Amino acid sequence: MNITLNNNLEFIEGESTTIAELMKIKNFTFKMLVVKINGNLIQKEDYTSAKIHDGDNIMILHLISGG
């Protein structure tokens, strides 16, 4: 399937996947993330159930704190 991930076109095997599976495929390991699918905020507890489909626009942003 073709998706847009952080404003970049990406091809992911299969017809659908979840946020958790996508993060594993793409090696996202940061603990503090903001995730949106088509502009809708996804809660951390929903990463394993939130489905991604062909044509979806996904944003995964790393939150970094500092002083």
Q: Residue 44 has what pLDDT?
A: 95
Rounded Cα–Cα distance for residues 53 and 2 (Å): 8
Is the overall model pTM greater than 0.95, yes or no? no
What average pLDDT does range 38-48 have in this prediction?
97
Q: Residue 35 has what pLDDT?
A: 97
Rounded Cα–Cα distance for residues 28 and 1 (Å): 19
Q: Residue 67 has what pLDDT?
A: 64
Q: Are 18 and 52 in contact (CB under 8 A)?
A: yes
Distance from the Cα of residue 7 to its chain's centroid: 12
Q: Name the class of domain 2-62.
A: alpha beta
What average pLDDT does range 22-42 have in this prediction?
94
What is the token pair recorded at 46?
């929903």
